Structure formats: structure tokens, C-alpha cells
């Protein structure tokens, strides 16, 4: 899934929105429950609370790896517009 890099810089890209955008969860409510249960990982690190993504989360300068459970992986790619 590709998102504009500007949304990352402006703090408009949240963990919940990323999980829903990639299709790992079908709704924001389901995403919140999955985060609370500890089944969401960002770059193979478990996330226990809702938060905003930052440039520090990027892997390979333009992507964030999301995982739900053991086998469900998704890639959030941030692209420059212009």
C-alpha cells in the first residue's frame, strides 16, 4: 500500500490507519482490539498502544513493515509526490 510521504512528516499517519489501509484489519475497531491484544507488530516489534508513525519507523528509507500474528505481513510504502 502506498501513501504520500507528506502524511508521515505531518503526523497524519497512525498505526490504526496503516493496519486498516493494508487490509490486516477490516475496521478501526478491530485494529484497536488487535493492538490491545498485542498481535500487531511494526518492523517486528510488538506495539501495545496506538501511536503515530514517524520517519524513525521507516525501513529502507521509504517503507514500514506491519505484521498481525505470525504470518500476516503487509508493507506500507511512503512515496514522494511531485
Give me the residue label for grid cell 501511536: 51
Residue in the block written with cell 511512503: 78
CB neighbour burial string for 35-58, b if at least 16 within 10 angstroms, e if fewer: beeebbbbeeeebeeeeebeeebb
Class of residue 4 by CB neighbours under 10 A (exposed 0-12, middle 13-18, buried 19+): middle
**What value does the mean pLDDT take over residues 42-71?**
93
Average of per-residue pLDDT values in the chain: 92
Residue 82: band (very low, low, confident or very high) from pLDDT cuts 50, 70, 90: low
Whole-prediction pTM value?
Answer: 0.90
Q: Looking at residues 6-28, what average pLDDT do you find?
A: 92
The whole-number average pLDDT for the span 53-74 is 93
For the cut 90, the answer to whether the pLDDT of residue 10 exceeds it is: no
Note the pLDDT of residue 78.
92
Amino acid at each position: 500500500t502506498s501513501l504520500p510521504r507528506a502524511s508521515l512528516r505531518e503526523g497524519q499517519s497512525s498505526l490504526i490507519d496503516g493496519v486498516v489501509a493494508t487490509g490486516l484489519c477490516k475496521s478501526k475497531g478491530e485494529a484497536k482490539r488487535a493492538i490491545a491484544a498485542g498481535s500487531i507488530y511494526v518492523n517486528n516489534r510488538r506495539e501495545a498502544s496506538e501511536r503515530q508513525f514517524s520517519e524513525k519507523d521507516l525501513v529502507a528509507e521509504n517503507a514500514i513493515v506491519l505484521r498481525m500474528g505470525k504470518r500476516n505481513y503487509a508493507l506500507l510504502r511512503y512515496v514522494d509526490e511531485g
